[in-house]
Chains A and B, each alone.
Chain A
Amino acid sequence: EVQLVQSGAEVKKPGESLKISCKGSGYSFTNYWVVWVRQMPGKGLEWMGIIYPGDSDTRYSPSFQGQVTMSADKSINTAYLQWSSLKASDTAMYYCARRSYYDNSGLDHWGQGTLVTVSS
């Protein structure tokens, strides 16, 4: 069974750092992009960027370039999203998802989401 399991909810203060994770199982991790998607409370889906775990090729949305860092460790089938200095405006649900590296298909499996709350 394909699964993407994300790390648990986080409550942080402005200025703090954070790294959340997304672990894939039940499929070949290096045959898929890992995609990160933000959903702010009551708002739509925002594409943050992608990473290919095979060689860590990373592409960021212009809106998130320089604000977050994506990484992956293919030896443990895990991708990461990190912030060096959180802001209150980073409060949101963050999803990881996968998309085939080879096929014309959308994001077919999603993690359960990690709720990040940033508040003083």
Chain B
Amino acid sequence: DIQMTQSPPSLSASVGDRVTITCRASEDIKNYLAWYQQKPGKLPKLLISAASTLQSGVPSRFSGSGSGTDFTLTISSLQPEDVATYYCQKYNRAPWTFGQGTKVEIK
């Protein structure tokens, strides 16, 4: 099965900083990749589909890029409300594996 490796496992950044999270697939998944945000005690929320398509209502400071095996989620200017754990997920074919998650905190 294809493995999804996310890094870093956690990060601490200041408000206004640019934050980058990476996700690597062990095989080519083209652009069948999604990013989710899960705030403490809340449901996961879909941020990005097809590697770079922002979901309606998601702030434009979030962006996604990549194709094949290497993908990136970028928060251009970190805000206090962005404190959450972020997950990537591949869905080209089953199993639709999630990455291990990246916990984002404010410094």
Contact = CB atoms under 8 A, between A and B. Distances in A.
Interface of A: 35, 37, 44-47, 49-50, 59, 61-62, 95, 97, 99, 104-108, 110, 112-113
A36 to B, nearest CB: 11
A95 B44 contact: yes
B44 A110 contact: yes
Interface of B: 1, 31-32, 34-36, 38, 43-46, 48-50, 53, 55, 85, 87, 89, 91, 94-101
Interface SS, A side: strand
B100 A105 contact: no
Given A105-B50, A107-B89, A35 B96 contact: yes
A107 B101 contact: no
B25 to A, nearest CB: 14
B98 A45 contact: yes
Contacts, number: 67
B43 to A, nearest CB: 5
Nearest to B51: A104
Contact of B49 (A35, A46, A106): A106
A99 B50 CA distance: 12
Contacts of B46: 105-108
Contact of B94 (A59, A106, A108, A112): A59
A37 B46 CA distance: 14
A74 B36 CA distance: 28
A50 B95 CA distance: 9
Contacts of B50: 104-105
Nearest to B30: A104
A97 to B, nearest CB: 8
